[in-house]
Structure 1
Amino acid sequence: MVERITSRYRKLVFVTWFLTLDLIMFGAFVRLTDSGLGCPDWPGCYGKISPIGASGHIEQALQAMPYGAVSFSKAWIEMIHRYVGSLLGMMIIGIVYLAWRHRRELGNTPRLAIVTLVAVCVQGAFGAWTVTHQLMPLVVTSHLLGGMLLLALMTWLAAREKPHAPIAAAAARWRGWMAGGLILLFMQVALGGWVSTNYAALACMDFPMCHGRWVPDMDFHGGYSLFRGLGLLPSGEMISQNALTAIHWVHRNFAFLVFAYLGVLGWKMLAEPGLRGPARLLLVLLAAQLLTGLTTIFFQWPLLIAVLHNGGAAGLVLASVTLLVRLSRAHGAKIPV
């Protein structure tokens, strides 16, 4: 009986974790195809449950603005993202139910599952605000960070259920360093989201310099003004090229710090058998992120590479959280997981 309950719970956790990763990738596709306003209301599409029922409204929007934010393809992309998000929420409710009802059999407190449920509810709210605030960069970037936080929580839940080789007590010394690396990684994700939501990926078309200079002309105040509309400055004027350059330049250069920090840390942890798998994944994904980031510049932001770059960031969160959970299990570690 206990084995059957445990098996069912683990399967649900791993399927939900995989769906969370997929949803983050698809969310990047929504953002990069400019489909975020494919249905300009929420939760339905022009008040209908699907774009089929809203076809008349979509046709009118197309006639009014043939190259605008609304089209049949964009409406379907946006609504599929919402459908999958709703399914994810229901699956997390199922995890909470099982974690609470069978907490003795599972041997874990349901607290983490409950926190994950709260996180997915908040994420749903940000999804609605993304539409109602007309793709405001601060809201869209917060939505991206919320997705990464949700992935981190689901990875934590999944990592608790996956066995691994014992980890020596000496490895616990890396726990604080790994926590610091995860903070740096989330900062870089925020900077990358700010690049994407402000369409600043092509603000610097050369590498390693930007506009032929190591430190080009930049407007940090305009670029990092948080409370403003898409493509605008707080004054209502169009955002300047110097502001876009500042957004791109900061993300690009902060990436070198994250790459060096996590690269050294991952290399150090390869020596521990219980950490070798996620440490190797961390190193591979760092190299892949560097490659896709550079390719985005040289090939002018092709959609597939941009989505893979977002997926690589999610993979780095996944690997980092797995390492942190395993380090917390090292002999002598005092953090309950």
Structure 2
Amino acid sequence: MFLLQLGLIGLCIALLPLSYVWVKADDDKFRKLVWLTTFLTLDLIMFGGFTRLTDSGLGCPDWPGCYGTSSPFIAHAQIAAAYQAMPTGPVSMVKAWIEMLHRYFAMAIGVLIIAQMVIAWTARVKKRPLHVSPWWPTGILLLILLQGAFGAWTVTLKLQPVIVTTHLLLGLALLGVLGWLAARMTPIPSLDTAAARWMPAAAFGLILLVVQIALGGWVSTNYAVLACTDFPLCNGQWVPPMNFEHGFHLWRALGMTGDGDVISQDALVAIHWTHRTFAVVVVLYLLWLALRLRRFESLRKPANGVLLMIVIQFLTGMSNIVLQWPLPVAVAHNGGAAILLLLLVMLNFRISSSRPGRAAVPARDVVSA
């Protein structure tokens, strides 16, 4: 019964953006739905970071509901008992609501993607020119189901770092695929075929960023942000004592080594130092790439966006250390990484579209379903 209640909550939340798209008086409803889903997915990723950073990941220690119910309201007695037994533990009414809101919004994103799939398959059956294969939203739905499975394991395996990091990366993969689809549905004013030769460089930049985000996720899920308390040095040294073996042992419990011992400070330093050092490589490469790509008119706006986000990421990353990990800055740093990924996806799409024989979708050819 509570599963049906959860589904209805997700549906009710999804009806708000669906209604917004459908009341717009134009013929680009499917494209607007894709863009709106992309934007809301970005918001969900940032809220997921907020959930993790407020230690709310176990606010409801079961899944998909909260103590077998659809709402912390209904589970009030169980939450109060858990909080009374352990006031400093992971369960409280505030944390339960943060965790359940994250789940509600995730279900709403799932409903929006199901709506995309229904529209695309209906257009295929009725032979309407939607200019997108229905397998796109179908594949995205499979991706969000996999993401949901890792969300469940995040709870049931008690925030195991490799599961939480994979959950983050799958969320970013979802954002990237939605961003690519949104870009595919949007006409580009002009294309320069000379930009096509930058496709390998842009793809490599995206790969570097994904690796850096994975390292950042590993820092966050292991709570290693303050393992280095100064900048640019790490605990007063350029190369401090580190334990890479324990720090990067993937399959282990939170705060423990693979052998079941408490993880050492040197292991946390290794995690933090690696993320910080690799950031130098990524920043220098992306700066060079964006400065080169902004020479092309069709790439100038996303390239400028990459330059701006690199500056913001540097400032928020440094502030996390200097200001002792304030919550708004930490959430902004997570969101900045997601925005940077989305911008690089847009750049890669536009460069790919610059190849001879590849054309953008004309705006007048995209119709509602």
Please tell me the TM-score bracket, short chain as reference: over 0.9
The Cα shift of 1:111 comes to 2.5
Q: Distance in 1 between matches of 2:174 and 2:196?
A: 25
Q: Is the 8 A contact 1:328 1:336 kept in 2?
A: no
Residues 1:29 and 2:64 are matched in the alignment: no
Query: Match for residue 181 of structure 2?
Result: 157
- With normalisation by structure 2, the TM-score equals 0.88
Deviations 1:84-141 (A, max 9, x none): 0000001001111112221441122222222211111100111100000000000000
Instruction: Name the amino acid aligned to 1:25.
Output: M
Q: Is the 8 A contact 1:169 1:333 kept in 2?
A: no
Instruction: Name the amino acid aligned to 2:261.
Output: E
The Cα shift of 1:334 comes to 6.2
Query: Match for residue 319 of structure 2?
Result: 295
Q: Is the 8 A contact 1:166 1:330 kept in 2?
A: no
Q: Distance in 2 between matches of 1:331 and 1:183?
A: 21
Unpaired stretches in structure 1, ≥5 consecutive residues: none
Q: Provide the aligned length of Structure 1 versus Structure 2.
A: 335
Instruction: Name the amino acid aligned to 1:275.
Output: L
Residues 1:53 and 2:77 are matched in the alignment: no
The Cα shift of 1:214 comes to 1.1
Deviations 1:114-173 (A, max 9, x none): 221111110011110000000000000000001100000110111112222222111001
Query: Match for residue 207 of structure 1?
Result: 231
Query: Match for residue 86 of structure 2?
Result: 65
Which of 115, 123, 137 in structure 2 is aligned with 1:113? Answer: 137
The two structures, once aligned, show a CA RMSD in angstroms of: 1.6
**Dislocated runs of 4+, deviation >3 Å:** 333-337
Secondary structure in 1 matching 2:227: coil
Deviations 1:285-331 (A, max 9, x none): 00100000001110000000000000000001110000111111104
Q: Distance in 2 between matches of 1:228 and 1:50?
A: 31
Which structure has the higher relative contact order (CA within 8 Å, separation 6+)? 2
Q: Distance in 2 between matches of 1:5 and 1:105?
A: 16
Q: Distance in 1 between matches of 2:280 and 2:243?
A: 21
Residues 1:84 and 2:105 are matched in the alignment: yes
Q: Distance in 2 between matches of 1:297 and 1:27?
A: 21
Q: Is the 8 A contact 1:39 1:45 kept in 2?
A: yes
Q: Is the 8 A contact 2:131 2:185 kept in 1?
A: no
Q: Distance in 2 between matches of 1:333 and 1:184?
A: 29
- The share of aligned pairs that are identical, in percent, is 53
Structure 2 vs 1, CA of residues 164 and 305 (structure 1 numbering), >3 Å: closer, same or farther?
same
The Cα shift of 1:22 comes to 0.4
Instruction: Name the amino acid aligned to 1:302.
Output: P
Query: Match for residue 96 of structure 1?
Result: 117
Q: Distance in 2 between matches of 1:24 and 1:116?
A: 16
Query: Match for residue 160 of structure 2?
Result: 136
Instruction: Name the amino acid aligned to 1:124.
Output: G
